[in-house]
Structure 1
């Protein structure tokens, strides 16, 4: 059984049983500790005698796949009674002749230790860029609270009993907009591929404000651009809503500096990291003063210099690992509670450093790409989702279109 702690996975990107195979991450998400989070979800209760079905879209192809499951924030061992993979045909339905059972060490049932991540055995399963794949797992025994990703912007499904082999999806009447335990899908074989691009950030990378189940986050649009240009490569979305550079949060994930090794350096086949972070460090202390919101705790005051120091540390980590590092400027947030004269001064200082320091290999100026032409402290109204902080589908497309593909390496 290929079980290991996340720190080891971050060093190699491979489970011990698979070191002879070259894997590339084709889809990923960042794991979070169980919480009530932004919307009702199943993380705190976990699962018992239930089947969970989740749909993901891969960004590169291959001839064989494996999945990665995480119990990073589990309080005890997680036993998966069985899991399957299949091509998605819409909603919870799958294509019958593609459905296969997944194993670990040749066994359908397996256990993941608390704090660990596990990679399944490879299965022959051909995928091409932008294919949708369905992963289903059944747990006969109570799992305890579930490691998850809160804001998937995609529908996951649940039902009572063992429905791993169901193909029409009708049993899956319960839905959630989070991903549970599933942290990655890797591919091997197929055509030669360019190194993957990890987009590392907060809710603006995660895609908050985009249309549910429509794959209109900026990483999705970037993957489509690369595929249309005949240069498909993995585009991996490692955004967590509310995430901060320097501050750990029960609701918004471990700090970026502490999760960078797992979520960026731990992705097999990655060659470039794009970092878009800082607005939450800058804005949350302003929200605390105006009207405290419990999910934002702790309300740690963070200076522009501290944000820059955190970004610098991530650049150093990436360079040590041989990755190209691209920096993205922090976008405006007026007139939301995040935007005050003090926070705007911090944002300006961070953006000046990003643009002029020369510490990144390339720069993406999202601030100018989606900001209002008339007001530098606001998003362009055509791109504003309505909360003055997050973008709509058009705004995320503008972000993806602002990237010079050559800057990705």
Structure 2
């Protein structure tokens, strides 16, 4: 397979960037499964595949070194249309530059955008981003639970046409925080962000299947003839009110960065609070901090998100917390909090709209439990079919 490297030329004038894909960045941790975040990379190439929900004729990436403690050197980067797995589509590979240079040095805590690269992208197309790190990176800012395969190879394999050199895999994303697209047209304020914990992140959905509820929502919008970018800013284990070494900064602290600062954001669907309710019922190291939160404290946290969204002119849909009877942290006290919070979400009128995920996925014979047809296996996360039902529970007119 002949692999061409085509130099990008920046469209002129400066393009109007639109949302294509994004992931919320977390501090390096071991998480639930093996990953490369704590060790980082040295003389290695990482290849990552993302599915965009927008379209365009040029693309750029955003790299985040938010949790780095020393400068990060990226020696080279490419973007291409995905063929399959780690393979790129021949003739579509573009070398990414940063201020005209092949590499870039990102200060600790910083982030950087690449220059524009000419690449034609259709909605729901997958793009492959490859990053080469010549020097040791130290621990990597990443997104733990991608439900998508990342590939690693020794040495500089940016131009590798043979995907077999990428012999190592994990299911996390590293340093890659966004892909933005431009099509020569004006910017539009039509981006939808889904925001929350593992139920948004897509826990238990099929790896590499793009079966999260965000994916289903984007497909539903496109199927109605109203395609819009849908960005998933969920983090598995995320808490509304507490920072976690494993599960990201608290939702109230990251909401501005992960939602309101996204390009063209128009609306957000918020689904968070289950872990604030459940973690205090179980004693596990990863579940700390786990203070016993009241429903009133959670409601105050939601009001903080509603206030920030309103001040930014962003519509906010509140999602009810799914049933979790049978899960490890379901107790009578936890169930009482879930019901009180959900009653408030439904009846308070403080959200612009409500997505009643709980009602849509509940077992009719036992409303405190997920319907068996939608249970991903742990009695709190949906399966692929359940995530589709979640997408259908969102009022599209309210977005």
Per the TM superposition, whether the score is higher than 0.5 is yes
Q: Is the 8 A contact 2:268 2:315 kept in 1?
A: yes
What pairs with 1:305-320 in structure 2 (closer than 5 Å)?
305-320=296-311
CA distance in 1, matches of 2:213, 2:21: 14
Runs of 4+ in 1 over 4 A off after TM superposition: 190-194
Structure 2 residue aligned with 1:22: 16
Report the equivalent of 1:400: 391
What secondary structure is seen at the aligned counterpart in 2 of 1:88?
strand
Q: What is the CA distance between 1:21 and its match in structure 2?
A: 3.6
Q: TM-score with structure 2 length normalisation?
A: 0.95
CA contact (8 A) 1:194 1:232 kept: no
Count of residues paired in the alignment = 387
Aligned residue in 2 for 1:258: 253
Deviations 1:119-172 (A, max 9, x none): 111112111110000000001010000000000000000010000111231110
Matches within 5 A, 1:8-19: none
For 1:71, the equivalent position in structure 2 comes to 65
- Give distance in 2, aligned partners of 1:26 and 1:167: 25
Contact 2:22 2:179 in 1 (8 A): yes
Partner of 1:3: none
Instruction: Find the aligned partners of 1:121 and 1:390 in 2 and give their Cα distance.
Output: 39
Cα distance in 2 for residues equivalent to 1:301 and 1:133: 43
**TM-fit CA distance, 1:115:** 0.7
Q: Which residue of 2 aligns with 1:143?
A: 137
State the alpha-carbon separation in 2 of the partners of residues 356 and 82 from structure 1. Answer: 52
C-alpha distance 396-191 of structure 1, shift in aligned 2 (>3 A): farther
- Structure 1 distance, partners of 2:51, 2:285, is 33
- The aligned counterpart of 2:228 is 233
Q: In the alignment, is residue 204 of structure 1 matched against residue 199 of structure 2?
A: yes
Aligned 8 A contact 1:194 1:233 in 2: no
In the alignment, the residues of structure 2 paired with residue 167 and residue 297 of structure 1 have an alpha-carbon distance, to the nearest angstrom, of 45
Distance 2:184 2:124 in 1: 15
SS of the aligned residue for 1:376 comes to strand
1:247-326 alignment to 2 at 5 Å?
247-287=242-282, 292-326=283-317
Tell me, yes or no, if the aligned pair for 2:353 and 2:395 is still in contact at 8 Å: no
Partner of 1:331: 322
Residue pair 1:61, 1:190 contacting (<8 A) in 2 also: no
Does residue 174 of the first structure (1) align with residue 168 of the second (2)?
A: yes
Query: Which secondary structure state, in structure 1, belongs to the residue aligned with residue 387 of structure 2?
Result: helix
Aligned to 1:14: none
Q: Counterpart of 1:170 in 2: which secondary structure?
A: helix
Pick aligned residue for 2:238 from 243, 249, 267: 243
Structure 1 residue 24: deviation in Å?
Answer: 1.4
Three-state SS of the structure 2 residue aligned to 1:378 is strand
1:102 and 2:96 aligned: yes
Q: Aligned equivalents of 2:136 and 2:261: distance in 1?
A: 29
CA distance in 1 between counterparts of 2:181 and 2:144 reads 25
The answer as to 2:377 corresponding to 1:382 is no
Partner residue of 1:356 out of 335, 347, 363: 347
Helix, strand or coil at the partner of 2:341: helix
User: 2:70 matched to 1:57?
Assistant: no
The alignment status of 1:187 with 2:181, answered yes or no, reads yes
Change (3 A) 1:364 1:256: same
